[in-house]
Amino acid sequence: MGYKYSDSCLAKVTANEPIFVLRAQDKLAPEVIRFWVQLARQYGDPTTTKIDEALDCARAMEAWPTRKYPD
């Protein structure tokens, strides 16, 4: 099972569409992701795969070896 860019949400971004990227090195990123999960559960389907993927991502970010606060 390999990562495919074509499966990424980034592959769906249209020209000039604003996006916001969180990096694993950002100590605040996992907290932001978990807040997004709360909102997704509140306003959407609480059983979606996307929520599980987001939580997996937050955990992986917390395990990232080099983390810092945004500068």
The rounded average pLDDT for each run of 10 residues, N- to C-terminus, in the chain (71 residues) is: 62 92 96 96 85 94 95 83
The residue segments making up the domain with residue 40 are 23-71
- What is residue 1's predicted lDDT score, i.e. its pLDDT? 44
Number of domains into which the chain is organized: 1
Instruction: Tell me how far apart the alpha carbons of residues 39 and 21 are, in angstroms, rounded to a whole number.
Output: 18
Tokens of 1: 């099972």
Domain membership flag for residue 57: yes
Is residue 28 within 8 A of residue 69, CB to CB? The reply is: yes
Prediction pTM value: 0.81
Domain membership flag for residue 69: yes
Domain membership flag for residue 71: yes
Domain membership flag for residue 53: yes
Domain membership flag for residue 15: no
The CA-CA-CA angle for residues 55, 60, 65, to 5°, reads: 150
Domain membership flag for residue 2: no
